[in-house]
């Protein structure tokens, strides 16, 4: 059994790095910011001082991801 002569093949699309780099940097910064607020923002390392609003907001996610808390 032979393949038909007019079979089109899928070709990868080349995306220039200048188009993807801003998205990559933005996603990395967003991930680091999310990581900070979920995992690290507490007590002396809190950017908002002594109030615990962010900590309480992400508290369940913090324990779900096994970050130390109390
Ligand atoms: Zn806790």
Q: What is the pLDDT of residues 10-55, one digit of tens each?
A: 999 999 999 999 999 999 999 999 998 888 887 777 777 777 788 8
Cα 23 to ligand 1 centre (Å) = 33
* Lowest mean per-residue pLDDT among 7-11, 48-52, 56-60: 48-52
Residue 10 phi, psi (nearest 5): -70, 135
Would you say residue 6 has pLDDT above 80? no
Whole-model pTM?
0.64
Cα 59 to ligand 1 centre (Å) = 6
Cα 13 to ligand 1 centre (Å) = 47
Dihedral sign for Cα 44, 50, 54, 56, please: positive
Ion ligand 1: residues, CB within 5 A, are 69
């Amino acid at each position: 059994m032979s393949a038909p002569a007019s079979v089109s093949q899928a070709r990868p699309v080349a995306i220039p790095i200048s188009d993807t780099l801003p998205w990559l940097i933005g996603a990395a910064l967003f991930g680091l910011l999310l990581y900070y607020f979920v995992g690290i923002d507490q007590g002396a390392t809190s950017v908002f001082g002594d109030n615990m609003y962010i900590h309480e907001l992400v508290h369940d996610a913090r324990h779900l991801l096994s970050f130390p808390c109390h």
